Structure 1
Amino acid sequence: MMMSKPVILEDVEFKRSQNTLNSADWNWSSKHYANHDIPANYYESSLASWLSFDALNKDLTCDVVVIGAGLLGASAALHLAEQGLEVVLVDKDRIGSAASGRNGGQLTPGLARWEAEDMIHHFSHEEAKKIWQFTAIESMQLIDDIADKYGLHLARSYGHITAAVHPGHISSLTKGANARVLLGDTNTHIVSKKELLDYVVSETYHGGLIDRLGGQIHPLALNRGLVHGFLKNNGSVYENTTVTSIHEQNDCTYVNTTEGTIKAKKAVVMAVHHSSFQLLENSPNTTIPFFTYVGVTKPLDVDLEQILPKKYPVYDTQLQIDYYRGVSKNRLLFGGQGTGSCWNPEKTSAYLLGRIAHVFPDLKATSFDFVWSGKTDLTVNGAVDSRKSTAKAPVYAVHGWSGHGVAQTVRIGKAIADDVFGYNQDYDRLTQIEHKNIPLGRMFAPLAIPLAKCLYSAQIALQPGKMISF
């Protein structure tokens, strides 16, 4: 049997993807394949070939069913199995084929788009402090603890930058840093335009925030590493298994799939996304789907350290953020945008190359080896939507990550496991965050996203120093 521990290669291997992609997701690579073949994206190409799992074709009984084998589901499954429960993990496609294996790989603190100031505004000081510790310090530490426990190499590094595209944004970044200090986090400091050049060699920015807590990681290696730990704890995995309905009964909860039914005696965990939110009872309309895009360049002609001397990943503060970081063999990963309908590879590549040229105009010959799209959900208030039903075997459901939260998904997975055992109030605290419904929001996303961006752009035109990131 193939080893379940993920192995990061020295460089990419151009190959066909083993994944089945969700609707409207696509991969492009500079190596051409037959029309029916999907090229692997950068993350899959930079990992050794890995396990595949059979589809479920029978009825089962277990303690917990986890639906969705991304970071949240794999983490919940791992932490439940570590406590001795019998856990079944199912995914409609393959492990890491959706957002968990397609994101930018940045590790940033906060609860989706909720940061320290938001928590202080919505909670008492003590509650805000607990949630910040949970979504920041504990989230980062948990990843390190899992890596140490299971001997995982995840291309993990420390340090992160938020770069200000307008001088007025320094004030907002400073307020955010001060809010973090109030909550017991002293991992940030503000730097001037000149000082930022020691981190990012670009004249685009007017200073920024250096965050020693954040960092970067190989997200697909992390996802596979969590499943590796789950398998070590006698977990069962089924891929290409579509859940058709969930029924809560007096004594248990039934998860029906196309080829079998699973009886869950203690709980069901669901990592909700655009193709599964309708499984929830009374399907909440608290999220809108949107598309985002990532590219990885060919090896650069200049050393990466000439543009990112300290190798810190970067977010900026424009409305449509740019984010980028160095990856293996002197390549630059660069992502951004958020659209209501999916762009094609040509439009995406042109946009991202234009953004690279804007930030680093000296990289004139840059071209991509990989470009891909991804789909995620956003909430009105920017915080992730966490739910728990009242059944004897309750359904835990989490969605609305707004394009952020690699570390936090892992931490919330552990919080769900803790809640099943009644260890603490961590997950219950997240369910107290109020969310607004968005009538017909999912249906009208292709119109709603451009409209929202136009309104935000108008605000920025009137107040250029106001920091609004979409």
Structure 2
Amino acid sequence: MTLNRRNFMLKSAALSGASACAALLPAPLLARIADLTGPAGQAAPAPVLLPDAHQTASRLGLDPRIWNWHRDTSPADPAPANYYEASLAAWPDFGPLAGDRTCDVVIVGGGLLGASTALHMAEAGLDVILVEKDHIGSGASGRNGGQLTPGLARWEAETMLDNLSAEDAQKLWRFASVEAMELLDALSARHGFECDRKHGHITAAVHAGHMGALVQNADARRRLGDRAVRIIGPHELQEYVRSDIYHGAALDSSGGQVHPLALLRGLIHAFTAQGGTVHDGTPVEKIETDSAGTRVVTPGGVLHARKAVVLGVHSATGQFLPGSSTTVPFYTYVAVTPPLPVPAAELLPADLPVYDTQLQIDYYRAVRGNRLLFGGQGTGNSWSSRDVNNYLLERIRTVFPQLESPELEYSWGGISDITLSGVTDCRKSDAAVPVYMAHGWSGHGVAQTVRIGKAISDDFTGRNHDFAMLTRFEHAPIPMSDYLGPVAIPLVKGALSLKSLVNPADMVSF
């Protein structure tokens, strides 16, 4: 029997107790980009992808719970850039808000959700100001694995069919698959930025019994009108992944990969080119409603929103909304090797990213400079760089023993959040100046986050009811959620690990 991801989350609750190449650019231009500061009213430059990463100190502020590691950096050195920042030309700081301002819409959070919403609202002619407490790309949107997969958080096609009418399931699936992927392509083409977008994706079965679950999901997708996935056996899989540990796979032409920080910077570039304003280094202290609208209070001034406020701040949403949070934060990790001793095509001949089906997912893909990006784990407490590196190196050796002695050059941690139902929590307040929010991505949703940003804009401008479709799902409150993860996540993972030993054919992934 297959344990789908929604049921996994419910069982978990019970168990826990609740570009142009920079090498072609002249040095003076690169220097000018590196020194640029983006004042209000000036468009940020498009992201510039470098031929390969280069060791450098990070210019992005980090949540104190997470870290960046580089093999040539000592603890006394400034925090190193992660691979994504190190593989892009330097980019501007926008400067904190200084003084009071009035605008149509205030966006809180400079990740993919905030940037996409801001861009689409600016394109609709609204006066939009975006504020970010650290820097653009400091959070999960600039630190994730860069894998693009269909679905809405942990809701896949089967779960949608189990919980919705066939018509509603088909609409939601299309929203979270075809529309989400096509929007990325449309935005990068329309606004002229590169983000290393590639098409296609593989889900590889680590147990023969998992092939049945992959077939069921492919069949559910066909019921919803999606024929982008086909099932392949272990021999054909060798044409895509040169590893002997898999029993077959789902080959999905609708997924893919992207450089997430380049995507985010591309959206901010497009937003500022539309006249939008960004202020980083601007934490929001509180959000208040008065007779003139809604006040977003920051240390440097107050933003008066005449028409709407959008929260794109993940688990920090609870800071601004009454009641208990509906998400639990967890930590996840990514690493990148130095240039490999063999061509990356010898490991991944078709250059497609891979997820596997084990409880603790491995995900990996080839990136620029003949390197391998490899990620995994989900933990309640933040692991140290040493523990993460040891774990990921062991996983690389398991998947690709032909590498013999793999090494890591970069690694870093990040924070995601999960809902108990497994689907993203989207809300809109009924105030005269509505507050929109979306969080609970469960580690899945790069493309869907961008698509929901458009849905928020479309809802506000009356273009369609896509966002209303996302708000229908109920989410249980989780008291003291910030403190629950360190206890609940290890307990849940331990229980599910024991269960998988008894019946390894059951497929559930964290």
CA contact (8 A) 1:294 1:335 kept: yes
2:133 to 78, 83, 92: 92
In 2: Cα distance, 1:95 partner to 1:116 partner: 33
SS at match of 2:345: helix
2:364 to 293, 315, 324: 324
SS at match of 2:483: coil
Per-residue deviation, 1:252: 1.3
Cα shift readout 1:216-257 (whole Å, capped 9, x = no counterpart): 000000000000000110000000101011113354111111
Per-residue deviation, 1:281: 2.2
Residue 157 of structure 2 corresponds to residue 149 of structure 1: no
Q: Which structure 2 residues correspond to residues 314-393 of structure 1 after superposition, within 5 A?
A: 314-393=354-433
Cα shift readout 1:341-361 (whole Å, capped 9, x = no counterpart): 001111110000000000011
1:424 to 464, 477, 483: 464
CA contact (8 A) 2:122 2:274 kept: yes
Per-residue deviation, 1:415: 0.3
Q: Which structure 2 residues correspond to residues 116-135 of structure 1 after superposition, within 5 A?
A: 116-135=157-176
Cα shift readout 1:389-411 (whole Å, capped 9, x = no counterpart): 11111111111101110000000
Q: Which structure 2 residues correspond to residues 11-26 of structure 1 after superposition, within 5 A?
A: 11-26=52-67
SS at match of 1:351: helix
Per-residue deviation, 1:299: 0.6
TM-score with structure 1 length normalisation?
Answer: 0.98
1:358 corresponds to which letter in structure 2? Answer: T
Task: Name the residue aligned to 1:462.
Answer: 502
In 2: Cα distance, 1:248 partner to 1:140 partner: 36
2:377 corresponds to which letter in structure 1? Answer: Q
CA contact (8 A) 1:246 1:279 kept: no
1:329 corresponds to which letter in structure 2? Answer: G
In 1: Cα distance, 2:437 partner to 2:124 partner: 21
In 1: Cα distance, 2:72 partner to 2:461 partner: 49
Per-residue deviation, 1:283: 3.8
Identity of aligned residues (%): 51
Residue 246 of structure 2 corresponds to residue 208 of structure 1: no
In 1: Cα distance, 2:228 partner to 2:394 partner: 33
SS at match of 1:288: strand
Task: Name the residue aligned to 1:58.
Answer: 99
Residue 484 of structure 2 corresponds to residue 411 of structure 1: no
1:315 corresponds to which letter in structure 2? Answer: Y
Cα shift readout 1:64-105 (whole Å, capped 9, x = no counterpart): 000001100000000000011000000000001110000000
In 2: Cα distance, 1:281 partner to 1:221 partner: 31
Per-residue deviation, 1:154: 0.9
In 2: Cα distance, 1:353 partner to 1:13 partner: 21
CA contact (8 A) 2:327 2:420 kept: yes
In 2: Cα distance, 1:232 partner to 1:281 partner: 32
CA contact (8 A) 1:250 1:391 kept: no
2:411 corresponds to which letter in structure 1? Answer: V
CA contact (8 A) 1:277 1:283 kept: no
Task: Name the residue aligned to 2:477.
Answer: 437
Q: What is the RMSD of the two structures over their aligned residues, measured on CA atoms? A: 1.1
Per-residue deviation, 1:285: 2.3
Q: Which structure 2 residues correspond to residues 284-295 of structure 1 after superposition, within 5 A?
A: 284-295=324-335
SS at match of 1:457: helix
2:225 to 177, 184, 190: 184
CA contact (8 A) 1:250 1:392 kept: no
1:239 to 280, 286, 300: 280
Task: Name the residue aligned to 1:111.
Answer: 152
**Could you say if the C-alpha distance between residues 198 and 232 of structure 1 is closer, same or farther in structure 2, counting changes exceeding 3 Å?**
same
**Could you say if the C-alpha distance between residues 189 and 282 of structure 1 is closer, same or farther in structure 2, counting changes exceeding 3 Å?**
same
CA contact (8 A) 1:251 1:392 kept: no
Task: Name the residue aligned to 2:8.
Answer: none
In 2: Cα distance, 1:361 partner to 1:126 partner: 46
**Could you say if the C-alpha distance between residues 344 and 140 of structure 1 is closer, same or farther in structure 2, counting changes exceeding 3 Å?**
same
Gaps spanning 5+ residues in structure 1: where? Answer: none
CA contact (8 A) 2:325 2:481 kept: yes
Cα shift readout 1:141-177 (whole Å, capped 9, x = no counterpart): 0000001101111111111000000001010011101
SS at match of 1:170: helix
In 1: Cα distance, 2:109 partner to 2:477 partner: 24
1:228 corresponds to which letter in structure 2? Answer: H
1:21 corresponds to which letter in structure 2? Answer: L
Task: Name the residue aligned to 1:74.
Answer: 115
Task: Name the residue aligned to 2:14.
Answer: none
CA contact (8 A) 1:441 1:448 kept: no
CA contact (8 A) 1:293 1:348 kept: yes
Length, aligned pairs only: 469
1:28 to 69, 86, 94: 69
Per-residue deviation, 1:460: 1.3
In 2: Cα distance, 1:267 partner to 1:355 partner: 46
CA contact (8 A) 1:108 1:136 kept: yes
In 2: Cα distance, 1:36 partner to 1:113 partner: 39
**Could you say if the C-alpha distance between residues 250 and 389 of structure 1 is closer, same or farther in structure 2, counting changes exceeding 3 Å?**
farther
SS at match of 1:243: coil
Q: Which structure 2 residues correspond to residues 220-259 of structure 1 after superposition, within 5 A?
A: 220-259=261-300
Range 429-438 or range 129-138, more displaced? 429-438
SS at match of 1:368: coil
CA contact (8 A) 2:318 2:325 kept: no
Range 255-264 or range 69-78, more displaced? 255-264
In 2: Cα distance, 1:249 partner to 1:167 partner: 60
In 2: Cα distance, 1:171 partner to 1:280 partner: 44
TM-score with structure 2 length normalisation?
Answer: 0.90
